[in-house]
Amino acid sequence: MRYALGVEYDGSDFHGWQRLTAREDDAETGALGADGAPLRPGTVPNLQATLERALATVADHPVSTVCAGRTDAGVHAECQVVHFDTDARRDPRGWVLGTTSRLPPAMRVRWCAPVPDDFDARFSARARRYRYRLLNHQVRPALGRQWLAWEKRPLDADAMHRAARQLLGERDFTSFRTVHCQAAHARRELQRLDVRREGDTVVFEVQANAFLHHQVRNMVGSLLEVGAGERPEAWIADVLEARDRTLAGPTGPAQGLVFVGPLYPREWPLPEEVLFDA
């Protein structure tokens, strides 16, 4: 039997989504805990292994999961979607409550749905959505700091929104992916990139068919150069066409980024929050 789960998490104290090797688990990560102190080597869990351990306890056998989109260290998720296979007989409510009871407070299972065996959390998704929020103020945030990046330079959100229009469509995003990105190619379809101001907070809403490693954070970092008046709006198009990461802006901090969730065609029996009309 195959099940899909919607999983919510605060990624502050996790070494990203992907299950690590033993050597990587013991490596120095540079991650910071919720109190701002560096986490010691060997103390940084990853989200996939944490979820799989909880599921295995409920299933009474080892469980392997596949996710819709791997998130980096410090990145959060409103509704990460995963699938797993099991012969264990549990109703969806049992999977939700049983698994969540065995997860740390920073994670919970939002819902569980039985799905056909050909459903794949990664390959069945047609789009992924992210939200990036930063406090635009002279003083760094205190409350909610794990959810907010910070930029003290005054920002023109309208200029960033106009500049972002130049990135929409199917493009080669080589200039906005990390050198460690393992994707076979850099072509992605950017379907949405809206920038708006809400008081002292600037919000970026991003949607694409798929994303490259650090793509959202790198696009945000470049748009901040425009918003701060350091670069003209047309510079974004020049960076895109150059296909050279060294010409783009810095990578935005991880803590401002939330994976809102993937989107699937309505043929799949999933909750409304992850469905769209194809």
Cα 74 to Cα 238: distance, rounded to the nearest angstrom: 30
Which of the pair, 72 or 24, is modelled with greater confidence? Answer: 72
Boundaries of every domain in the chain: 2-124, 127-259
Task: Classify domain 127-259 at the CATH topology level.
Answer: Alpha-Beta Plaits (3.30.70)
pLDDT value of position 22: 40
Q: Which pLDDT tens digit goes with each residue over 198-220?
A: 999 999 999 999 999 999 999 99
Do 263 and 130 touch, CB atoms closer than 8 A?
no
pLDDT value of position 237: 97
Q: Kindly give, in sequence order, each residue whose CB lies less than 8 Å from that of residue 8, ignoring residues fewer than 6 positions away.
A: 77, 78, 79, 80, 107, 108, 109, 110
Average pLDDT for 73-82: 96
Same fold, 2-124 and 127-259: yes
Task: Classify domain 2-124 at the CATH topology level.
Answer: Alpha-Beta Plaits (3.30.70)
Cα 152 to Cα 178: distance, rounded to the nearest angstrom: 25
pLDDT band at 32 (very low <50, low <70, confident <90, very high): very low
Neighbour count for residue 269 (Cβ, 10 Å): 13
| Residue 36 three-state SS | coil
Cα 217 to Cα 230: distance, rounded to the nearest angstrom: 18
pLDDT value of position 35: 42
Burial class from Cβ neighbours inside 10 Å (0-12, 13-18, 19+) for residue 204 reads buried
Cα 109 to Cα 98: distance, rounded to the nearest angstrom: 9
Burial class from Cβ neighbours inside 10 Å (0-12, 13-18, 19+) for residue 66 reads middle
pTM of the model: 0.89
Q: Which helix (H) or strand (E) holds 172?
A: strand 169-172
Residues marked active site are found at 72
pLDDT value of position 41: 44
**Where is average pLDDT lowest: 21-25, 91-95, 114-118?**
21-25
pLDDT value of position 182: 86
The amino acid at 123? F
